[in-house]
Structure formats: C-alpha cells, structure tokens
Amino acid sequence: MKTIAISGFVKPEFESVREAFVENFERRNELGAACCIYYRGEKVVDLWGGVRNKVPGERWENDTMVIVFSTTKGISALAMALAHSRGLFDYDERVSRYWPEFAQQGKEKITIRQLMAHQAGLFALDERLDRNVVADLDKLAVILARQRPAWEEGSRQAYHAITLGFYESELLRRVDPKHRSLGQFFQEEMATPLGLDFYIRLPEEISNARLGTLQRPSMARMLFTMPFLTTLSGMNPRSRLRRALLGSELPEEDREHIYERNLEVPSGGGVGTARALARAYSAFATGGKELGLREETLKQLMAPAIPPVHGFHDECLKVEVRFSLGFAKPGPTDAFGHPSSFGHPGSGGSFGFADPHAEIGYGYVLNQMGTYLNDPRDAALRKAMYRSIEVASLKETKSVLIVESA
C-alpha cells in the first residue's frame, strides 16, 4: 500500500475524521483533497493531503485551491443572504420590483424565493453564452431579462445549474448601492472580512502553482454509479439537464491557466479551499454576528424548503432534491446534518454546509472527481464528524457531572 502524505491537525475528539480522511486515499480513490471543520466557532479539523495534480505529482499544499463547481452556489447564496440581512431586498418580493426589465416574457410574478429555489422555469437560456457575453454584465442582463420561462412560476422544480448565479448577480447589481456584481460583493463583504481563500471571480495574480488540476471520471464509472435517468439525461444533448449546463465549461476554457481568470460564473466557477468553505459556513452556523447578520435572515435559511406545486422531483436532475434560497436542504435521499442545515454540493464530490443546530461549518474539496450524487468520500467524513461531536458532547457532560458532584 502506498504512503499518502497527510498534513494538518485535528483536535483529539475528532481523530475519527482524520482516520476517514486517510481511508479516502486508501480505499476510495482519493487523489488530492482537503477537509476543514469548525465546531462552535473553533477550527477542530484542518487536513490536506495527496497531490494537486496527477502529473507531475506535486503535493497538495496548505493553500492549494480547486474549482468546486456547484458548491459555489452555496457561497453565492451566503452572499445573497448577507445582502438580504442588510435590507437590500425581500425574498418574497417579485424580482421585477428591483429589476423592471425582468418582467418580460411573462416573468412579472416570479419572486426571488421562487427563483432561488429553482422554481422559476429559467433553467436554460435560448441564447448561447460565451466568455465575451458573461464578461459584459450589461449585455448578459439583456439576455437574462428576455428569456421566456419554461412553465409557470412555482409549478415545477428544474435545477438552474448555471443560470441561477447570473440572475442572482444581476439582481444584486440592481439593489446594491455600489452596483457590485455578486463576486465583487462577496469578495468585499465576506471574503475580506473573514479572510477567506475563495474567489467567485479568480484574479490574475493567483498562480497555477496554487491550483489543483481535476482528474475526470471515466464514462464507465459514471454509468455504474450515477442514477440511470440522470446519466441518460446528461448524455442527451437536447435534454433539460444538458441545456441547463451550457456555460459550465467557461471557468475552465483558458488555455494559459488551469482555470479562467476574471470571469464570474456564480453558480459553478468558484475556486477556493476547504478552510474557506468551513469558515464561511461557520460564521452563519454560529449566528453571523461578525458579519452583522440579522436573526430573521438566519431563520429563513434554517426553515424547511417549500415545494413547488408538483413536488421536489427535479425536471433536470430526474431525482428528488430540495432547494431553498439558493441552498440545498436535507431531504430523504440527500440527508446532511440537522433539518435546519443549509449548504451545497458540487459536481465531483465537493461540499460545504452549515449546521446551526450543532454549530458546524464544514468544507471538503478534491481534485479526483467522483460520479455519485452523494459522494462516499464526503459521506465518510461527515459521518465521522458527527460521531466525533457525540464523543465531545459526552466528555463535556461527564465533566459537568464531576464538577457538580464535587
């Protein structure tokens, strides 16, 4: 068995997380990865290991960053929640109140809550996006506004794989006094104050030496591990899923860099560390006071997802999944944490989430892309994390009993 270089630390009570992290390399085909956990505002796990690229096999370092695809949606949703907390918009207000042009093509009744729950019927765009359009936010806004929804708002759910972030960003530009894009707002209002190594708009100064390169899964592996209907939909170029994913290739189109620079794809182009994910979610899981988050906003994030008329079956993904305010929420087939938890997984296996009930901020990133909707490597780490919390709680209880008896 080959020896894998693992670095970082865990608090003694969380040793089982380190063991699961090592097992991911030994038994679950991990290449390079990092996992970070905050518990009650304290960093209790910070691990990284393996290699950041398969060839020439350079080590994954303390500050290695990697693209996390749809895990970016959760970070974007945190930024939107912060804007909501500052009174910039109301989740239950119509999008068109803040963005009048959005009302075209029968979209005048769509609320922000419906849009961010993937219930607006805007999962794909009829006009093909390229780098020049995405880089020109005014031009992009015109295309977004004139898109016709696929069905009546609130009737069905269809994963807005790429479009969601573009709509969120334009909405934020309309309500922010400084008219910042989502990536700019996140960088100035969250990333800088919290010291996060995470970018929705990767700057030029980040060198390739800090970035992990992705190892794609084989088609055979996808066929045997993904839900059949999801795989079938992904193979059909005319399917809703394939149409929804158009534009997901843009963050990786740059031939000179590992990832594209200075381009915002807020639904799938985020690049960062597990530490940044865990730190961001920890701020929300512990009440958000350091960001000035209002309790009313946090309560909305913690609330159960509201289903569309036809239920949570997703018209793109072909499985049941629950979304609310830009986040994925725990459900029967994708349980994570307490029901109040909120976060988002990404294609390949990355994941970040907050569990306010347990006061957890969790982040996991990797470069060997998996093919499961619920990746077993991530599941193993989360299982070990909650087992560790139970151990820590028992120790605290015994300590209290000893003090009281004394």
Report the domain count for the chain. 1
Tens of pLDDT, residue by residue over 48-87, are 999 999 888 899 999 999 999 999 999 999 999 999 999 9
Provide the CB-side half-sphere exposure for 345 (13 A, CA): 22
Per the domain annotation, does 255 fall within a domain? yes
- Domain assignment present for residue 1? The answer is no
Residue 229 domain-assigned? Answer: yes
11-38 pLDDT, tens digit each: 999 999 999 999 999 999 999 999 999 9
**Is 78 a domain residue?**
yes
**Cα separation values, 106 from 59, 101, 120, 166, 401, Å:** 52, 11, 11, 19, 63
- For the chain, the average pLDDT equals 92
The answer to the question of residue 106 being in a domain is yes
Dump pLDDT digits (tens) for 320-350: 999 999 999 999 888 899 999 999 999 999 9
Q: Examine the pLDDT at 234 and tell me if it is beyond 70.
A: no
Burial class (CB in 10 A: 0-12, 13-18, 19+), 332: exposed
The answer as to whether 139 is a domain residue is yes
Residues 6+ apart with CB under 8 A from 393: none
Strand partners, 33: 49, 366
pLDDT band for position 227 (cuts 50, 70, 90): low
**Which residue range forms the structural domain that includes residue 271?**
6-405
Q: Is residue 242 part of a domain?
A: yes
Q: For residue 177, is it within any domain?
A: yes
Closest by CA to 123, choosing from 161, 73, 154, 71, is 161
Check which CATH number belongs to the domain holding 107 and give it.
3.40.710.10
pLDDT tier, 202 (very low <50, low <70, confident <90, very high otherwise): very high
